[in-house]
Amino acid sequence: MTRTTALRRALLAATMLGALSACSLIPDLQTPAPPVAQAWPAGSAYAPQAAEPGGKTLADLGWDEVFRSKTLRSLIAAALEANRDLRIAALNVEAARAAYGVSRADLLPTVDANGARSRARTPRELTSSGRAATATTYTANLGVTAFELDFFGRLRSLNAQALETFLATQEAQTGARIALIAEVANAWLTLQADRRQLRLTEETLETRQTSQALIDARFENGIATELDVAQARTSLETARVNLASYTRAVAQDRNALELLAGRPLAEADIADDGDDLSSLVALPPAGLSSAVLLRRPDIREAEHALRAANATIGAARAAFFPTISLTGSAGFGSARLGSLFEGASRAWTFAPSVSAPIFDAGRNFANLDAAKAQRDIAAATYEKAIQSAFREVADGLAARKTLVEQIAAQTALVAASEKSFFLSQARYDRGVSSYLEVLDAQRSLYAAQQAQIGLELTQLANLVTLYKSLGGGPPPQS
């Protein structure tokens, strides 16, 4: 058996021995139990949470089932394709995947091949012959440089940390996707609500312009007072102020949508479907367990971060033990290129090294304490993420019932305000009351109509928030 063969077998045996005998110093991790109740709060503010057998909950619906508007679904699809924030999140995943690949490569030896030709001249004063000499050397080698035998699992701990970091980044991308869907939905719903406010204001302005003309005519005929004219003018100018405000809001809403969609939008891309606001988002069925929170990407991200921090402890523990590295090469060396690969030109080197910590002024202990502290911080962060998610859903469930009741009351208020305005206008036309009574009724009606649109938007935004808080549901069916 040649020396080269012996070297190769020795390297292979050492590598296999390192792989087989490596131990893990990563401590066992017990994921903290969710520090929240198993059921959502109950009371007068909450709708009953009894699910029908086999029925779906909001956590089971994809975004293409939650959002009924074709225009909105098209906008969401465009944003998922072109939004730059989501693109950055995807690139972060690719970067984390590459970092994990680098860490995994550290578990295997790196084999390098190199060849060289060198010439050296020796002055005649240094030669035995008294003549200057020139020597040429050719080498060709295949070698392993400083390959660490992972007996104590340091590299495997770092690899586990890199893997968990990669998985956490994937969850962050999923969370960014769900957040983007919710942002697009809220931005589009806000646009539609502001457009309705704009149309309402335009109608109100037209009505007040008509009233102003009638008051002016009555004043010229001596029927109305100058105070009536001034009050009508105040009401008219107020409507003009609101018209400018909602015109600006609609333009800014469109700009926000274009940023989220990642491209310019035509009018057809953001057109109103013509439906009532309340019909644009599916009303979710009830029946939820707090365990559904564990689906949320941010909670899964926090769990992977906890596992990554726990793996760091294994690497910190391994630093207390010796580090064994192998460096070796096998190849050929000759003074003539033609005889470089002949048997007599074989050459090899084998240089194992051991490094053991003796005195480091407490550095390794400090690193281990820091790793444990980071693990405890990650555990607390994981628990806080669950608690925050529980509160978000509980707030959403509370708002869901109370908003339904509030909108019903607001609808009744609008109807009552319309009747009050009609009656006050009739009383003024008959000379029974002053124009101030008409003006107050008109303002009350306009304010009630504005509030109703705002409440409908709040209710839909609450449903969008619930969808997001419950983890965004499954991916849409392709």
Sketch the domain layout of the chain as residue ranges.
Answer: 32-108+152-321+380-469
pLDDT confidence bin for 1, thresholds 50/70/90? very low
User: Is 342 a residue whose pLDDT tops 50?
Assistant: yes
User: Is 4 a residue whose pLDDT tops 70?
Assistant: no
**pLDDT (0 to 100) of residue 275:** 65
Burial (Cβ within 10 Å: 0-12, 13-18, ≥19) of residue 174: buried
**pLDDT (0 to 100) of residue 412:** 96
Angle at Cα 220 formed by Cα 214 and Cα 222, nearest 5°?
100
pLDDT-wise least confident of 27-36, 137-146, 168-177, 441-450: 137-146
Query: What residue has token string 């010796």?
Result: 322
Distance (Å, whole) CA 42 – CA 195: 37
Please spell the DSSP secondary structure of 210-260, one letter per residue: HHHHHHHHHHHTTSS-HHHHHHHHHHHHHHHHHHHHHHHHHHHHHHHHHHH
Q: Does domain 32-108+152-321+380-469 have CATH number 1.20.1600.10?
A: yes
For residue 72, give the 3-state DSSP assignment. Answer: helix
Whole-number mean pLDDT of the chain? 82
**pLDDT (0 to 100) of residue 417:** 95
User: Is 282 a residue whose pLDDT tops 90?
Assistant: no
Nearest to 265 by CA among 458, 65, 77: 77
Q: What is the pLDDT of residues 357-397, one digit of tens each?
A: 888 888 889 989 999 999 999 999 999 999 998 888 888 88
Strands (E) in 318-360, as ranges, are 323-334, 346-350, 353-355
pLDDT-wise least confident of 26-30, 244-248, 324-328, 346-350: 346-350
The pTM (predicted TM-score) of the whole model is 0.81
Comparing 347 with 118, which gets the higher pLDDT? 118
User: Is 237 a residue whose pLDDT tops 70?
Assistant: yes
Q: What are phi and psi of 283, to 5 degrees?
A: -75, 120
Q: What are phi and psi of 38, to 5 degrees?
A: -75, -20
Q: What 8-state DSSP symbol labels residue 340?
A: T
Task: Over range 167-177, report the average pLDDT.
Answer: 92
Comparing 136 with 200, which gets the higher pLDDT? 200
Nearest to 397 by CA among 43, 156, 109, 132: 43
Q: What is the pLDDT of residues 47-83, one digit of tens each?
A: 555 444 445 666 677 888 888 888 899 999 999 999 9
**pLDDT (0 to 100) of residue 285:** 54
Distance (Å, whole) CA 17 – CA 15: 5
Task: Over range 209-237, report the average pLDDT.
Answer: 88
Comparing 342 with 18, which gets the higher pLDDT? 342
Distance (Å, whole) CA 214 – CA 203: 17
Distance (Å, whole) CA 210 – CA 203: 11
User: Is 247 a residue whose pLDDT tops 70?
Assistant: yes
User: Is 463 a residue whose pLDDT tops 60?
Assistant: yes
Q: What is the pLDDT of residues 398-444, one digit of tens each?
A: 888 888 899 999 999 999 999 999 999 899 888 888 888 888 999 99
Q: What is the pLDDT of residues 289-336, one digit of tens each?
A: 677 778 889 999 999 999 999 999 998 888 888 888 878 777 666 666
pLDDT-wise least confident of 8-22, 266-280, 298-312: 8-22
pLDDT-wise least confident of 9-13, 24-28, 134-138: 9-13
Q: Nearest 10 degrees: CA dihedral of 217, 219, 222, 227?
A: 160
